[in-house]
Amino acid sequence: MDRPWVVAHRGSSSEVAEHTARAYEKAIEQGADAVECDVRLTRDGHLVCVHDPTLSRTSDGRGRVSERTLGELQNLDFSGWRTELPEAADDLIADAPVEALPVLAFDDLLDLVVSAPRPLRLFVETKHPTRFGGLVEEQVVASLAQHGLHGLHEPADPLRSPITVMSFATTAVRRVHSLAPNLPTVQLYATVPPLRRDGTLPRGIDIVGVDMDVLRRHPAYVRRVHRQGNRCYVWTVDDPADVELALVLGVEGIITNRPAMVRDLIEAA
């Protein structure tokens, strides 16, 4: 495909509480090519879609995700999404949503992806560091296999595979490649290390995902990535000017909280 994929970051998370089933359903309705999630392990070994290590920003709970069981998390309300904590309790009351939304287990998200009315890709980010170490990647690969989403293509082909696994931790990316060499993997960078500014990536990885600020400051980086035969995805792209820049630079994937807006801008370009 000539245009970049529109990847809904934690679902259509500018409109609906992030990482909830409702956010992903909205993204599908809005025509996203792919949806993205972060996964963490609960105390009893279940994968859940939660970005932060703690619960306070995205739910009415407190404490660490890794110290709660899935059952305990299911008793919390994850509809209170906000980009940052309010300064006063009155703000919490004023912004309180009407409908409670539960935590989304990774297996339930996979069910949603498999049953989508059209082909849908899933980008999975494993969060590190974690006290569970490599168990996170092992559980991800096992869940994908249970849903028939593992072992579909050999070797890894990002254009054909419905699943892509990402991490900021190179050890985690390599772990996924070792467990499932057919799965495309992405090395994430908030800032590109000096050694990698020429567009190269760690051995065995051929896709990079970078912060939009990298492209604003160093637009030539995308060209260097492509010269090395690698692909480039960018996050999190919510401003029309950034969408335009990403299109001009030729990235292959745009990860956004506003999939409807990005899709409209791409179609109008």
Q: Which residues are catalytic?
A: 9, 51
| Pairing label, strands 231-235, 207-211 | parallel
| C-beta separation of 21 from 113 below 8 A | no
Cα 159 to Cα 163: distance, rounded to the nearest angstrom:
10
Cβ neighbour number for residue 90 with a 10 Å cutoff:
9
Instruction: Supply 84's token pair.
Output: 């940052």
Beta bridge partners of 124: 37, 165
The single-letter code of the amino acid at 74 is Q
| C-beta separation of 110 from 165 below 8 A | no
Instruction: Supply 56's token pair.
Output: 């306070």
| C-beta separation of 32 from 265 below 8 A | no
Cβ partners under 8 Å of residue 112, min gap 6: 21, 24, 25
End-to-end Cα separation, the chain, in angstroms: 15
Q: Which residue has the tokens 């054909």?
A: 160
